[in-house]
Amino acid sequence: MKALAVSTIVMSLLLWVPNIVFQKASTLWMFTFVLSGLGIVLSVYTKSKILLIGNIITFFSFFILMFFGYIFVFLTK
């Protein structure tokens, strides 16, 4: 179960690669909500706090990246 929780974090991060690295608009990032939600359940089941924190961060990664994007645009104008 612990390996599945870790793999959900890794897969959630890999779903952002087309948008961030290649600057190609892709809707794959929406699957981070599904994978991270599953990862949260798995990390609660395995009672691992670090995996729970990692999955929560990837669950809210869209909002975190939007925040930093808005700060970047604000500072560069």
Please give the structure tokens belonging to residue 16: 């952002």
Residue 73 pLDDT > 90, yes or no? yes
pLDDT at residue 1, as a whole number: 87
| Residue 50 binned pLDDT confidence (cut-offs 50, 70, 90) | very high
**CA-based angle 48:18:58, to the nearest 5?**
20
C-alpha–C-alpha distance, residues 16 and 67, integer Å: 15
> What count of residues does the chain have?
77
Residue 71 pLDDT > 90, yes or no? yes
Characterize 27-47 residue by residue with b for buried, 16 or more Cβ atoms within 10 angstroms of its Cβ, and e for exposed.
Answer: eebeebeebbebbbbbbeeee
Domains of the chain by residue range: 2-76
- Report pLDDT digits (tens) over 3-45: 999 999 999 999 999 888 888 888 888 999 999 999 999 999 9
* Contacts of 6 by beta carbon, 8 Å cutoff, 6+ apart: 51
pLDDT at residue 28, as a whole number: 87
